[in-house]
Chains A and B, each alone.
Chain A
């Protein structure tokens, strides 16, 4: 706990720098990644992330020192080269996109590892720490490294703000953008260069192996919470930045631990939380909605069953036993009793020792369901030319779905009829 306060009080200047740098590079990657994600280039992003490794090594070999500027230039060149090669393979050969991506990723990464091993064997003392670019080490974000990587990250954020509407259009509808005369080739070039740069900016904190996760996971999580592109960019930046902060903390706590995996674990947890719990789109809210729909159908069917029983008795008898109702409307016992409990709690039915009756409000609901069922049957037979024996099953589900607006439309369209296709009364 003490280290926790040591870290989060940010009294140590070093901690401040590392944290600031980690947040900046992860959040800028997340923002740029939103467009990679929306352009459906996630796998391409992964290939590029791996393809910067030989560039990192070449930058080192050519300069002889671990200078971030050389490393960025090298990484940028091989990153772009991998993209060009992928495009050429897809357009000029019979190899399809997925194979081209896999081919380029493994070739470039293999080459990178080869060079890295060669450098390590060469005995150059300056190479120590180069292997950190594989899985990242946020704690190394100090001095020159911090300045260079942060500047790249800031440039990326500024470019997204400047080209926001062009990137939006490119991602949504490229043909249309081109038809307007926007310089689409240039915009694509900038957008793709930014993907490469975002990867490059993140290699110190996250590492090349897992950098693609920083491009794609925050946008994927953010998409669950909003339908607005600006908000999506902001949320992705927050998710990315938070995982960067967590990575910096881990790096402070355990200096020998690579930070990339930790950052990715944190951002993945955010993503999983979003997949499950985001309102409207998450798995659990959707499952609950389905369950509520199921309950509504059961409840309304019981009320409808009671109404049908009343009709059978010409409305002379109003109280019926559970068994009478279950005979009229067979259903699973468990489901039946749960529904009965719900209905009596909402006082749609009046329970009296194993027999039951509709309350005032229950009668209103029951009548409406019966009405909608019969109106829909009539609609199907009049407008879709279905025979009376074909319409019942379809109306069984539709009756629970129809909104008051549709109900009114249906009534007007059919001119408030009295009888359904089976010659039964339509109650109003």
Chain B
């Protein structure tokens, strides 16, 4: 593995829902070992960005490289923590069952989880301080505990690049601290973290790398350089009415984003 290769390289990424563009031609790279946040107002396309990078939403144009390889070659090295609200927590499963799901990608079809997988799942639960809740039905966990379970599942994947969609949404203060401590430790071990983050206040102290996003890329780079008043003004201030209107027009007239 080449150390200089960026963990994530995105070129000209454009994406949208039902013909309405949400992201316009994004170019950026995130170096290995970065603890990176994606910041932007509501509806800026932050979740869409990470979903498109992982091809959960098909991109209308553009190209993604994971550690210099294509997405499919890099799949086994990425891990995804979806928004907590995106699943039904009344599903018949225990915290441990959910964490074990993190091993399914490595197992492949038809194989069952073995001793080693079970050990890794338990260890992951331990890292987020949830061993004693292993057998608890997931609907009986608090929001913060559910988020920890999701994080443990990601840890069980033993990936190198982690995408987290709002890991701090709706969690208590102690969980927030536990999560950021864990992310820092992972970053020190050379793992790359990319997290959608909502809180401008804590972003500079939590993350060393920042992507500012609002339908298009405002800036991406080390937090100290990117987190300027001007950039934040560009991200949050001045509504991009023209960009939104052109997007609506494309949707209503069924216009393609690129010539096919």
Contacts and interface: CB of A to CB of B under 8 A. Distances in A.
Interface string A57-90: 0000000000000000000000000000000000
Nearest to A226: B92
A181 B76 contact: yes
Contacts of B92: 38, 223, 226-229, 232
Contacts of A232: 92
A321 interface: no
A288 interface: no
Contacts of B1: none
Given A172-B87, A173-B87, A180-B75, A165 B107 contact: yes
Interface stretch (B78-86, B169-177, B211-219): B78-86
B93 interface: yes
Contacts of B25: none
B75 A181 contact: yes
Interface string A32-61: 000000101000000000000000000000
B78 A179 contact: yes
Interface size grouping (class) on chain B = 20 to 34
Contacts of B98: 172
Given A223-B92, A226-B92, A169 B78 contact: no
A365 interface: no
Interface string A170-212: 0111011111111000000000000000000000000000000
Contacts of B230: none
B97 A229 contact: yes
B62 interface: no
A318 to B, nearest CB: 43
B101 A227 contact: no
B254 to A, nearest CB: 11
A173 B94 contact: no
A172 B110 CA distance: 18
B82 A175 contact: yes
Contacts of B105: 180-182
Most buried by B among A165, A223, A228: A165
Nearest to B75: A181
B72 A181 contact: yes
Contacts of B107: 165
Interface string B95-139: 001100100110101101100000000000000000000000100
B173 to A, nearest CB: 13
Chain B interface mostly helix, strand, loop or mixed? mixed
A162 B109 CA distance: 8
Nearest to B71: A181
Contacts of B242: none
B51 interface: yes
Contacts of A166: 104, 109
Interface in B230-256: none
A298 interface: no
B48 interface: no
A14 interface: no
A38 B54 contact: no
A344 interface: no
B104 A180 contact: yes
Contacts of B54: 178-179
Nearest to A39: B88
Candidate in A38, A179, A229 with the most chain B CB atoms within 10 angstroms: A179
B80 A175 contact: yes
Contacts of B101: 165, 168-169, 172-173, 176
B88 to A, nearest CB: 8
A362 to B, nearest CB: 33
B210 interface: no
Contacts of B86: 173, 175
A172 B93 contact: yes
B202 to A, nearest CB: 22
Nearest to B138: A227
A384 to B, nearest CB: 15
A172 B91 CA distance: 7
Nearest to B98: A172
A40 B90 CA distance: 12
A227 B137 contact: yes
A229 B80 contact: no
Contact of A165 (B78, B94, B112): B112
A181 B55 CA distance: 10
A186 to B, nearest CB: 9
B94 A169 contact: no
Which of B51, B98, B107, B109 has the largest number of chain A CB atoms within 10 A? B109
A228 B95 CA distance: 11
Nearest to A166: B109
Contact of A179 (B56, B72, B88, B137): B56
A270 B76 CA distance: 45
B102 to A, nearest CB: 9
Looking at A40, A168, A177, A227, which has the most chain B CB atoms within 10 Å of its CB?
A227
Contacts of B88: 40, 172
B75 A228 contact: no
Contacts of A163: 109-110
Nearest to B18: A91
A414 B157 CA distance: 42
Contacts of A223: 92
10 nearest A-B residue pairs (beta carbon): A180-B105, A181-B75, A179-B80, A227-B137, A229-B92, A172-B91, A173-B87, A179-B54, A227-B92, A232-B92
Given A179-B163, A229-B93, 9 more contacts: A168-B101, A171-B91, A173-B82, A176-B80, A178-B54, A180-B80, A181-B75, A182-B105, A226-B92
6 contacts: A38-B91, A165-B113, A168-B93, A173-B82, A175-B80, A181-B105
Interface of A: 38, 40, 162-163, 165-166, 168-169, 171-173, 175-182, 223, 226-229, 232
